[in-house]
Structure 1
Amino acid sequence: MAFKHVSLGRGKANIIHPLLNDTPVSNNSSLSPMVVSKKPIDLYNNIQISKILVHPIKSCRGISLQSCRYSPEGLEHDRRFCIIEAGSHQVITAREVSKMVMIIPRIKTDERSPHGGVLLISFPEDSGCESFSVPLYPVEEQWERLSDIALWRHEVDGFVCENQSSTGRSPSTILSEYFGRPVHLTVKGNKPRPCDPTVSFPNLKATALYQDGYPLLVLSEESIDVLHEEIRSRVGTQGIADEWSSQEFVIERFRPNIVLRGAGPFAEDNFEEINIGSDDDTEMIGEEQPGILLVSKCVRCLLPNVCPETGVRDKAVPYKVLMKFRIGLDHRNKMKPCVGCNGVPLGNGMIKVGDTVNVRRIIAA
């Protein structure tokens, strides 16, 4: 068994990736009406990337990066690993085990290593669990392959991770102690895991790793600013504690990948395709980076109620607040709130904090 390194070079602009659609989305009459522009839409001309977040292990602590490569399956290293029940092979998330957010993964790359580097995993000091590391891209033939990992309605593949060192306890043993029941750490194999079609993209043929549904999540800072105001205005009602009068609501609770600044509150709801990189970059290299399709709104559960620093679940914030003003946005889940948009890259590229974000397609009113 071998894990292939995915090529993440630059791609041509406006190319529809074969895993997405056989034809450009603007020519598909079954899609939502949209405005298409080869140049940035002037209404949104001051947008930048303010934060890049990668979550190497699903539902565990995220990592803030200054730059990151991406492929059609998402940001490099994002959700390539997950933790599963040892018996049923069901993926475990912080929805059920909130202290997962206290597990801290760190990526240490090494181009000289056949594994591309290691993933370092550490735990809270009071957990009694020791740190360990596993190869980023393992090549050992003896790793056990699982083909029936249960993630929502899909069966996905993965390999049970072994320790980078030949000594010490196995990752499964250490994590099982932390969870209080038998679990495994797995890394995604090479079998494609399809994404579900959406209302706007009924012919979607994208693939993802261990993400809930789609390769990327895009969210704007201003959306969280509005949510923060809504929370403070409701302190003392709906079970919202007094501490929210001064406590900051951090965007990391929503576990986005690409955070925007300058778009305006919930402006991402209107975007159909964005392109990252300035006109100066395009002139210098003679090509644009591939676009990112925003294929659907992100329907929210109770996971953002979990504080990423403490693992404590709030009884009301933000879910009860979101139910007051963010429902009815998803055709299939009208009574569930939505925050952020699910994205699918159209090719390979590189993003960095401070990059210009150009809006190429918007949904017509």
Structure 2
Amino acid sequence: MDTLKLRLSSVSLSTVSVCAAILIPIVLAPTIRRQWPQLLPSLQLLRRKKGETTEVVELRVYPVKSCRGITVRKTTLRTHGLDLDRRWMFVDATTHEFLTIRQIPQMTLINTALSEDGNSLILSIKDEDVKVSIPAHPTADWLRDNTTLAQLKIWDIQTDGYLYGPEVNEPFSRFLGRGVCLAYKGPTPRVLRGNGAPQRLGRTQDTFFPDVHPVLIASEASLADLNSRLVAKGERPITVERFRPNIIVKGNVPWSEDTWKLVRLSGKEEDGPIDVDIVARCARCQVPNVEPSTAEKHKTEPWNTLMSFRRVDEGIKYKPCFGMLGAPRAEGEVSVGMKFEVLAETKEHRYITGF
């Protein structure tokens, strides 16, 4: 009799389990559908594996700060950033203060290109018959004979730069409707500040004319997530160029870059890997609202959408974040298709203003 009771009990439990397995998803389905947008990030984190690996899908260099950049298949990553990146900038002809898209969206209509042999940087203006060619890697003698060394101001920081003459500056002054000078970074190192300051980074490192740090890395997966939100609001998707990153990786899970601490770029074994310290999230202004191909600035997007879900850094809660700022530990060739590995992660990123 006891054996019979046990068997009946087992059958009853099995029946209950089967019914529960069938009924619970049916009963909970409406709730799951409603809460899916909130549940998805958590489920993605559960899928995510430590030591994320992806690949480099694009490299972008912006020779002149706030002007149109160029895409390259390969280049050299130096401790101050990608070769030629933000080596030049435009400054006010009188005050020598730096100028950017923030004040003058039309700067995105100034194009940059390299000559076929790579020896010259060619500046042009969209829809205008203007071409100005200057050495891409000017020698000390060329700079002495063709430019003037002067003090410049980028944010509230003084640095130096070589100012070009009227033959270079005139077309751009006319186009922008104000007196401007093209400047090439001078010999005085512009030491990293904020999250990249020597006492935090553990070494003294410098850069040219980026806002703060040498390299900006972005994820296609995160851009895709942002675009899905924009499309859901009836807006058009945007390109990664809006954010002006240097290294774009495919990415596995949107926004997983938030916790990157140390990443590695590796290709051929004989070249050796290049490690990059990820020092901070990139807090965004409204530059991404400007469409680079037209210089038209959207009144609200993607700023409003980013503000709705990307105010994630306790150090700068009034701005949204997109992309990660890095400081390379070494130099070497980088190319599209290289493996990109996350070697270390942290939950302690906190933005510290570097200007």
Common fold, TM-score beyond 0.5?
yes
1:171-186 map, 5 Å: 171-186=168-183
Q: How far did residue 66 of structure 1 move?
A: 0.7
1:118-267 map, 5 Å: 118-125=120-127, 127=128, 130-138=130-138, 139-140=141-142, 141-162=144-165, 170-198=167-195, 202-204=199-201, 205-235=204-234, 244=235, 247-267=236-256
Taking the aligned partners of 1:44 and 1:318, their CA distance within structure 2 comes to: 30
Give the partner amino acid of 2:248: V
Taking the aligned partners of 1:136 and 1:104, their CA distance within structure 2 comes to: 15
8 Å contact from structure 2 (residues 191, 197) kept in 1: no
1:12-27 map, 5 Å: none
Matched, 1:345 2:348: no
SS in structure 2 at match of 1:198: helix
Bigger mean CA deviation after superposition, 210-219 or 322-331: 322-331
SS in structure 1 at match of 2:200: coil
Taking the aligned partners of 1:54 and 1:48, their CA distance within structure 2 comes to: 18
Bigger Cα Rg: 2
Which of 103, 106, 118 is the equivalent residue of 2:113? 106
SS in structure 1 at match of 2:102: coil
CA 135–199 in structure 1, closer or farther in 2 if over 3 Å, else same: closer
Matched, 1:329 2:336: no
8 Å contact from structure 2 (residues 150, 163) kept in 1: no
Structure 1 residues 156-194: Cα deviation after superposition (integer angstroms, max 9, x where no partner) = 2111125xxxxxx71111111111111101111221001
Q: How far did residue 350 of structure 1 move?
A: 1.0
Give the aligned partner of residue 355 of structure 1. Answer: 338
8 Å contact from structure 1 (residues 330, 338) kept in 2: no
Give the aligned partner of residue 82 of structure 1. Answer: 89
Taking the aligned partners of 1:215 and 1:76, their CA distance within structure 2 comes to: 11
SS in structure 1 at match of 2:171: helix
More helix per residue: 2
8 Å contact from structure 2 (residues 123, 132) kept in 1: yes
Give the partner amino acid of 2:294: T
Q: How far did residue 44 of structure 1 move?
A: 4.2
Which of 88, 96, 100 is the equivalent residue of 1:93? 100
Give the partner amino acid of 2:255: F
8 Å contact from structure 1 (residues 200, 296) kept in 2: no
CA 109–72 in structure 1, closer or farther in 2 if over 3 Å, else same: farther
Identity %: 28
Which of 248, 256, 263 is the equivalent residue of 1:274? 263
Taking the aligned partners of 2:247 and 2:156, their CA distance within structure 1 comes to: 26
Taking the aligned partners of 1:363 and 1:290, their CA distance within structure 2 comes to: 20
SS in structure 1 at match of 2:107: helix
SS in structure 1 at match of 2:145: coil
Taking the aligned partners of 2:324 and 2:278, their CA distance within structure 1 comes to: 6
Give the aligned partner of residue 55 of structure 1. Answer: 62
**Whose RCO is larger (CA < 8 A, sep 6+)?**
1
8 Å contact from structure 2 (residues 230, 237) kept in 1: no
Unaligned runs of 5+ in 1: 1-40, 111-115, 163-168, 236-243
CA 149–330 in structure 1, closer or farther in 2 if over 3 Å, else same: farther
RMSD of aligned C-alpha atoms? 2.1
8 Å contact from structure 1 (residues 293, 343) kept in 2: yes
Which of 300, 320, 323 is the equivalent residue of 1:316? 300
Q: How far did residue 45 of structure 1 move?
A: 4.4
Taking the aligned partners of 1:184 and 1:291, their CA distance within structure 2 comes to: 36
Taking the aligned partners of 1:86 and 1:201, their CA distance within structure 2 comes to: 33
SS in structure 2 at match of 1:264: coil
Q: How far did residue 360 of structure 1 move?
A: 1.1
Taking the aligned partners of 2:81 and 2:197, their CA distance within structure 1 comes to: 20
Q: How far did residue 277 of structure 1 move?
A: 0.9
CA 88–310 in structure 1, closer or farther in 2 if over 3 Å, else same: same
Taking the aligned partners of 2:72 and 2:293, their CA distance within structure 1 comes to: 18
Give the aligned partner of residue 70 of structure 1. Answer: 77
Unaligned runs of 5+ in 2: 1-47, 349-355
CA 217–292 in structure 1, closer or farther in 2 if over 3 Å, else same: same
Give the partner amino acid of 2:124: S
Q: How far did residue 201 of structure 1 move?
A: 7.7
SS in structure 2 at match of 1:341: strand
Give the partner amino acid of 1:124: K
SS in structure 1 at match of 2:195: coil
Q: How far did residue 361 of structure 1 move?
A: 1.1
Q: State how many pairs are aligned.
A: 296
Taking the aligned partners of 1:199 and 1:160, their CA distance within structure 2 comes to: 28
8 Å contact from structure 2 (residues 113, 122) kept in 1: yes
TM-score by length of 2: 0.79
